[in-house]
Structure 1
Amino acid sequence: MNFSIIIPVYNRPQEIEELLYSLIRQEATLNFEVVIVEDGSSETCQHIVEKYKSKLSLQYFFKENSGPGASRNYGMERAKGNYFIILDSDVILPEHYMSVVSSQLEEKFTDGFGGPDAAHKDFTPLQKAINYAMTSLLTTGGIRGKKKGVGKFQPRSFNMGISKTAFQRTNGFSDMRAGEDIDFTFRMWEAGFETQLIAKAFVYHKRRNTIGSFFKQTFAFGTARPILNRKYPETRKLTYWFPSLFALGFDLSILLLFFGHWYLIAFFAVYLTAIFADATVENKSIRVGFLSVVTSLTQFFGYGLGFLESLLFSKTKGV
Structure 2
Amino acid sequence: MDGLSRKALMKDVLRSVSRSFYLSIKSLPAPMRDAVAVAYLLARATDSVADTARAEVEGRVGYLERMKVVIATGVADECARLDEDLRCEVSVSQEHEGEKVLLSRFGDCMKLLAALPGDQVALVRRVLATILEGQMWDLVYFRTHAKVEDAEVLRRYAYQVAGCVGEFWTDLGYLVLGERFSAAPRDLMLKLAREYGEGLQLLNIIRDREEDAARGRKYLVGSSAPWVQLSRAGLEAGEVYARELHGFRLRFATVLPSLIGQRTHDALKHPAAEGKVKISRWQVRGCMVQAVCFALGHEGGVSEPPVWVQGR
Higher-helix-fraction structure: 2
Higher-strand-fraction structure: 1
Q: Which has the larger radius of gyration?
A: 1
Query: Do the structures match in fold with TM over 0.5?
Result: no
TM-score, length of structure 2 as denominator length: 0.31
TM-score, length of structure 1 as denominator length: 0.30
